[in-house]
Amino acid sequence: MHMKFVEILAAVAIVGSCSAAAAAPPDMDDVPLILSGCVIAGEAKDSFLLTNVVIDGTTQAPPHAFYRFNTTNGLKGYVGRRVEVKGKADLDDVDKGKVRVRNEEGKVTTEVTSERRTVKANDLWFASAGAMKMDAEVATYKFTVESVKPLQGNCASAAAAQ
């Protein structure tokens, strides 16, 4: 079965620690999460980014991570809108991804690549860009979508990226 691809775009921070005396870590392959954010359409068919993400559900999940959705069903109708995506994260399934941001001739392009798939969106960056160029490696996690529902409010930068 061909899986569709979508990425969650947020800043990345990974914090970890280990101790010989620590208890065994909990099972991290089925962690319930609710992700809320703005849906942005990517350049390719059925590719989307979720931006300005807020995570609810557990403190086990990295607070500023990228998530690979198993499906894009339910997102197309909400481009430029805020949504709540409910599902389960597999925090044991980490993949090294890449984020690339370019500002050329006043056009900002953001690319997120993970598992040999890329989502590319234009005019996504919402800060002062100047002569910006950024390349970064990021951790991404598998996310099984259970439901998508709209939230109140629109996303100004999302509407511009349509």
CATH number at 63 reads: 2.40.50
Structural domain range at position 48: 6-12+28-95+140-160
Phi, psi angle pair for 158, to nearest 5°: -70, -40
Total number of domains constituting the chain: 1
Q: What is the pLDDT of residue 46?
A: 86
Does 47 reside within a domain?
A: yes
* Residue 87 identity (one-letter amino acid): G
Does 81 reside within a domain?
A: yes
Does 79 reside within a domain?
A: yes
Encode pLDDT of 74-132 as tens digits.
899 999 899 999 999 998 888 888 888 888 877 888 888 887 788 888 766 545 555 56
Reported pTM: 0.70
Place of tokens 């001739």: 105
Does 127 reside within a domain?
A: no
Encode pLDDT of 23-48 as tens digits.
445 678 888 989 999 988 888 888 88
As a whole number, mean pLDDT of residues 16-24 equals: 36
Residue 58: which pLDDT band, with cuts at 50, 70 and 90? low
Q: What is the pLDDT of residue 123?
A: 67
Q: What is the pLDDT of residue 147?
A: 95
* Residue 52 identity (one-letter amino acid): N
Residue 64: which pLDDT band, with cuts at 50, 70 and 90? low
* Residue 13 identity (one-letter amino acid): A
Q: Look at residue 4 and tell me whether its pLDDT is greater than 90.
A: no
Does 17 reside within a domain?
A: no
- Of 151, 138, 143, nearest to 71 (Cα)? 143
